[in-house]
Chain A
């Protein structure tokens, strides 16, 4: 901050300035005399033990500060209370401290230790507030302490503390710019932060400390784009402005081909000259030069990241915050292809309803935009109509916009409007209107005469200002075609008697002089009158009198020689040296003397040369080289700290710099994969088109692509990642469908021996599935976003398909069992287990997971659900032996004992939670039971009876097992709806002889089913499950479970969750929904050095959350 030194000077003076200012405030005048006394009693109050007295004192002191009075002499008394227990006292002391620490540096140091202690507090809000105050104290000695604190806070667990750290960075930077390098490191670290809370603040810090380090943004660009909609509104403004600059350096001009095309039309366009300025012509010339090169170049293809930015900012046009809307508008203006810029007009027009200050700023920007892109605002012409109650500055800006919008089609309505404006009482406004009419007249040839006539009528207006302004404008108009209008000039010559406004007089004189040949009789007379009043005229008029005299002398020297001499003599002794100078110069030039040089021959040519008509142009022309919406643009001057908006690069820099390392997340990779698929299956192309990287903004197809992309962006308001995952899962689903068919075929082959009843059952199943599907679709969507609900749907579908397969599998199992139970090689299950492990680890390249075609695995889902794996397995292994193990998910299932063989008199029963969706009822948890008959006799009619349940719970009994021969084992599946509680289900297990009371109590981890989410959704959902719904525990990881894989393994064993992809390797995230109520369960395990870790569980159901924390904690620490 270069200005800070200047600013310190001012501050130095402030205390001395403050005193005389007491006089300003009449109320304080009396109190001033007793100030010292008052301070004494304040000190006493501060020293007392009572908080209420301290509070009262602090309130009075703060009130003094607020009024701008000096309370610095109380510093020692106040600073003592920095450690006060009362929060309000403490806060007020902070206020005082921040205000006066700079002046009393030594004393301020006394308070530092308190804050240092605060930085270590377990409560994040106290840590944050300590950092906030510490960094606000402007004492240079503590810079190292601040640096340390910021660094520490930047890696704090709490995003709020990290946000505070980001806020502290610019504070430290302004205190000691030498810390820049270290601060950039912190900024870099915080930029990588994934929480919306931090994003806005850190970009703010970036803009203040190191806006030139654009390279720091690369890696975070996509993340910022995707987070944008969830960032708080002030952060949005800062981020959007920064991204505008970034995009200008990284992407190609989307309009570069269009400007080529425009050349063809430019001939027409020059007609309304002032709009197409000369610079642009030059630009066009340059472009022409480039044209050849460009033609060879392949058509412009928008970088997908460029598109991402445009798409993700668009919804923000609907923000209630005018600054956000403006920021998006300028982003579109500077970055979007021409065809798409139009969307911002509506939003900007909306802002015109806001406070007049907002209107003022918006209109300034609209005025600049209308010069470049007039078409955009034409439909909203009437919104710029002026009301008599508008403040003058608003009126004038609206007028500016109306003038810019004028063209042949709407000029008549605009002129009619202007007509009413001219009658306004607000004279400044009337003057501006007349100028506007002049500009319309020059720009649009058809109405020139109409305008001129109207203006001439105004010459008889009673108000002098109006007349004067008209004269000035008429003068400019006449210059375009003087010969037709000699009577207007005559009329104006008569006005010289009445008009006193210097500018108008000067204009008339110039006109007469210039066209003296058209008014040969009047001109000398006017000069005569002027010569008389010469001494009383303003300088500007005097100059024109001399001018007129010279011109007349050259054309009509007979009549005016003496007059000219007279005027020149008067001018010779004028007070103003400009006038004296001019007189001398002209005399030498026009009056022939013996010494006169060659120039005097050309005097006539010099004075009466044909002058080009003036171009009346908008004061907003060329303002757009400043970034719109910026202070610099508003002032039309570069403000301190303004970052130039760079020009588009000639060739796009390497786009791969924005790729983030985590491979499964980069969009490129996913895109590539999908592209590959696309080649295989062209029917995906529909969904592809929307986010396709090959979107062409080429001029011809532009409108089409615009609308297309528009619809695309509508669909994916909150980020393309989610969209992509959606697409991913869509395709997944479709393929699954196909595969299902395959599977069915295969199954049919297998199923041949299966009885009819079973096949019936399965067809029933299918029906039900369809029903459910329809139900789902009919149901109003409650879920957060469309994509989610869609996904849910998909889930349910895939679930049911899975369950179906499961069903059939289990059927086949039983059958197989009968055949192969004895001959089953013992090693088989283990082997299979291993294989599963392997697939889990290398999910991405399923190539070695032959022979099934494996396109399901899109890179989006890093971690396949267990069920999916089994599905695959079912496919690939279907021709080998099917064993019960196939059903079990990859992570080993834990078996629980239901009935010991001793109590069961030979019958032992074990159960496990198969983690399969229970197909008859989605709300039930599937429990797989293994029955083993260890007795010598057969057991018959094995079934359930007398189920005792807590209210709400339901059980679907397993089908009766008619016969379990001695020594045999069998399995059965039952479903229990636990109602999301860990209450036990009690029932009786009956055989033909005995009844056993048994109960099944589920571990909490089994009450949920995996749920797929993208990282974004996860974060979003997590954000909504804060506070009471969030439980955080710190833990030390078991020595064996320090790597990611082990953690994933243990967590998924403990709870039936699916992994959520995550950009950082320090975090593992899992998501699931409870089986009954479908409440979200989100688990995050963040690892740190030396086995330290933090476990966070977010769940709507607090009981479930608490229990889950315990379970996972146990799993991870043992």
Chain B
């Protein structure tokens, strides 16, 4: 399966390597660098490359490439999913997955990689099990460690690996028992020039933060579970109960985890919270163009729209933008040609507007396409699909936990074509 792993930063330095079988020279990465050169944009590097003796499967996360070397047939998704799991674990341990942080914690990273794969086959990928074996770094512990010479490798043996519920470690104890659930919904939509919806759907995810003592058995039920079109679950959820009763019954992992993701399809009409009036035009003669964008509330369910942003990838020939915004401020990055207008809260009385002129490279032909707008927004305390959690019950433990559910709606891939 996975033979070796190389971590490469976006400038092309290999800053960490790990081999699970014999050592493979890092020169194998040259094939990757070649492909990267050819693709230009790191997003466009093919995830799977074939070299004379090996196959390279790469993911791009947080400006890092995780490059794995494969020798024989293996489902590519298997490797990709695993690499993402590695990156998730780094994020979980160190707060972010970046070159600096990995270099700072190189020994922990190495220990983690050692435990996650055995001979190239995934061994322990559950964060609860890993944390039992290798404690995540924190300031207090590192101070204590340096003073006492103790280590951050747990001296308890990872019993979690032995159990049938590997996602939960044994003997969890909290003084405050709490279970919080965030229902986060993202609207994916494509609107065309006239503002009509070409395509819209809702992608939801329930993130949980559960800190409960012992082995609680939770049941989460919804007011309107039929709304959910397609679901995927954390392995802890009992699928049969879902099939039969449409409730989520599970013994939760300890700490933060994604309980489920769901999908509300476009069949149910998806409410679009804002409308956009825009005109971007470039003149045939005289190297300039005009831009005028206004946003307004559409179907906000009476809630405040916050964190409103508009991002526009301008054509390469646009040199600069001279605009005025009635609300918020805008930046135009000359290198990437990205115009970002950060609006903030949407005030229905006074609609935000961005207006002004664009200067285009002299002599260059008029840009062919008008750039599309990507909208970002956030609505607190609302799940736009109307999904509601009705109750959370706990069995198996005697105490009363604190419970809470929070709803947030965000814009996912929300695009307005011009």
Chain A positions within 8 Å of B, measured between CB atoms, are 1, 3-4, 6-8, 10-11, 13-14, 17-18, 21, 24-25, 50-52, 55, 59, 62-63, 65-68, 86-89, 91-92, 94-95, 99, 102, 123-126, 132, 135-136, 138, 158-160, 164, 167-168, 170-171, 174, 196-197, 201, 204, 229-230, 232-234, 237, 241, 315, 318-323, 325-327, 346-347, 349-350, 353, 355-358, 360-362, 382-383, 385, 387-389, 391-393, 420, 423-425, 461-463, 629-632, 634-635, 637, 639-643, 714-715, 717-718, 780-782, 784-786, 1020, 1022-1024, 1026-1028
Bound CA span A631–B80, Å: 12
In the complex, the answer to whether A357 meets B59 with C-beta atoms within 8 Å is yes
| Least CB distance, B40 to chain A, in whole angstroms | 9
Of the candidates A160, A358, A632, A635, the one whose C-beta lies within 8 Å of that of B162 is: A160
Q: Other CB < 8 Å A-B pairs besides A14-B23, A323-B81, 7 of them?
A: A95-B111, A167-B118, A174-B21, A322-B81, A323-B78, A362-B77, A634-B76
Stretch from B12-20, B322-330, B382-390, B399-407 that touches the partner: B12-20
Which B residues from 9 to 34 make CB contacts under 8 A with A? 13-19, 21-27
In the complex, the answer to whether B415 meets A389 with C-beta atoms within 8 Å is yes
Stretch from B90-98, B146-154, B287-295, B299-307 that touches the partner: B146-154
Bound CA span A8–B395, Å: 56
Bound CA span A462–B123, Å: 56
In the complex, the answer to whether B151 meets A233 with C-beta atoms within 8 Å is no
Bound CA span A8–B261, Å: 45
Residues of A within 8 A of B170 (CB): 1026-1028
B194 at the interface (CB under 8 A from A): no
Of the candidates A18, A164, A642, A1022, the one whose C-beta lies within 8 Å of that of B73 is: A642
| Least CB distance, A356 to chain B, in whole angstroms | 6
In the complex, the answer to whether A425 meets B315 with C-beta atoms within 8 Å is yes
In the complex, the answer to whether B241 meets A786 with C-beta atoms within 8 Å is yes
| Least CB distance, A580 to chain B, in whole angstroms | 34
In the complex, the answer to whether B47 meets A361 with C-beta atoms within 8 Å is yes
Chain B positions within 8 Å of A, measured between CB atoms, are 1, 13-19, 21-27, 41, 43-44, 46-48, 50, 53, 55, 58-61, 70-78, 80-82, 84, 106-107, 109-111, 114, 118-119, 121-123, 125, 149, 151-153, 155, 157-159, 161-166, 170-171, 188, 190, 192, 198-199, 201, 203, 217, 229-235, 238-241, 243-245, 251, 258, 261, 263, 266, 313, 315-316, 365, 367-372, 374, 393, 395, 413, 415, 417
| Least CB distance, B7 to chain A, in whole angstroms | 9
Residues of B within 8 A of A7 (CB): 22, 24, 53, 71
| Least CB distance, A377 to chain B, in whole angstroms | 14
In the complex, the answer to whether A171 meets B119 with C-beta atoms within 8 Å is yes
In the complex, the answer to whether B25 meets A13 with C-beta atoms within 8 Å is yes
In the complex, the answer to whether A68 meets B14 with C-beta atoms within 8 Å is yes
Bound CA span A237–B76, Å: 11
In the complex, the answer to whether A640 meets B263 with C-beta atoms within 8 Å is no
| Least CB distance, B193 to chain A, in whole angstroms | 9
In the complex, the answer to whether B164 meets A196 with C-beta atoms within 8 Å is yes
Bound CA span A784–B413, Å: 38
Assuming the A-B contacts A318-B232, A355-B84, A1028-B171, are A350 and B71 also in contact, with contact meaning beta carbons closer than 8 angstroms in the complex? no
In the complex, the answer to whether A24 meets B48 with C-beta atoms within 8 Å is no
| Least CB distance, B174 to chain A, in whole angstroms | 17
In the complex, the answer to whether A167 meets B121 with C-beta atoms within 8 Å is yes
Of the candidates A135, A347, A360, the one whose C-beta lies within 8 Å of that of B47 is: A360
- Which of B121, B163, B417 has the largest count of A CB atoms less than 10 A from its CB? B121
Bound CA span A18–B14, Å: 12
Assuming the A-B contacts A55-B149, A234-B122, A322-B77, are A62 and B106 also in contact, with contact meaning beta carbons closer than 8 angstroms in the complex? yes
In the complex, the answer to whether B73 meets A632 with C-beta atoms within 8 Å is yes
Of the candidates B80, B118, B149, B233, the one whose C-beta lies within 8 Å of that of A357 is: B80
A-B contacts, 24 listed (Cβ < 8 Å):
A1-B71, A14-B24, A25-B13, A59-B107, A95-B110, A102-B22, A124-B162, A135-B119, A158-B162, A170-B121, A174-B21, A234-B121, A315-B239, A315-B240, A320-B234, A355-B59, A385-B198, A425-B369, A629-B75, A634-B76, A637-B50, A1024-B164, A1024-B251, A1027-B170
- Which of A6, A321, A425, A781 has the largest count of B CB atoms less than 10 A from its CB? A425
Assuming the A-B contacts A51-B149, A66-B110, are A320 and B233 also in contact, with contact meaning beta carbons closer than 8 angstroms in the complex? yes
Bound CA span A241–B1, Å: 14
Residues of B within 8 A of A717 (CB): 239-240, 243
In the complex, the answer to whether B71 meets A11 with C-beta atoms within 8 Å is no
Assuming the A-B contacts A66-B109, A132-B118, A357-B47, are A319 and B365 also in contact, with contact meaning beta carbons closer than 8 angstroms in the complex? no
| Least CB distance, A150 to chain B, in whole angstroms | 13
Residues of B within 8 A of A168 (CB): 119
Bound CA span A629–B77, Å: 7
| Least CB distance, B34 to chain A, in whole angstroms | 16
Residues of A within 8 A of B365 (CB): 462
Residue of A nearest to B81 (CB): A323
In the complex, the answer to whether A136 meets B14 with C-beta atoms within 8 Å is no
Residue of A nearest to B123 (CB): A167
Of the candidates A132, A358, A391, A643, the one whose C-beta lies within 8 Å of that of B81 is: A358
Assuming the A-B contacts A91-B153, A785-B240, are A391 and B43 also in contact, with contact meaning beta carbons closer than 8 angstroms in the complex? yes
Bound CA span A249–B265, Å: 38
Bound CA span A11–B60, Å: 27
In the complex, the answer to whether B119 meets A68 with C-beta atoms within 8 Å is no
In the complex, the answer to whether A631 meets B46 with C-beta atoms within 8 Å is no
Residue of B nearest to A58 (CB): B107
In the complex, the answer to whether A356 meets B53 with C-beta atoms within 8 Å is no
| Least CB distance, A791 to chain B, in whole angstroms | 14
In the complex, the answer to whether B368 meets A425 with C-beta atoms within 8 Å is yes
Residues of B within 8 A of A136 (CB): 118-119
Residues of A within 8 A of B48 (CB): 360-361, 631, 634-635
In the complex, the answer to whether B244 meets A786 with C-beta atoms within 8 Å is yes
In the complex, the answer to whether A347 meets B230 with C-beta atoms within 8 Å is yes
Bound CA span A783–B189, Å: 41
In the complex, the answer to whether A230 meets B162 with C-beta atoms within 8 Å is no
Bound CA span A94–B115, Å: 12
Of the candidates A91, A138, A167, A1028, the one whose C-beta lies within 8 Å of that of B111 is: A91
Bound CA span A8–B24, Å: 9
Residues of A within 8 A of B229 (CB): 346
Residues of B within 8 A of A21 (CB): 26
Bound CA span A382–B1, Å: 36
- Which of B151, B162, B368 has the largest count of A CB atoms less than 10 A from its CB? B162
Assuming the A-B contacts A50-B149, A170-B119, A1028-B170, are A356 and B110 also in contact, with contact meaning beta carbons closer than 8 angstroms in the complex? no
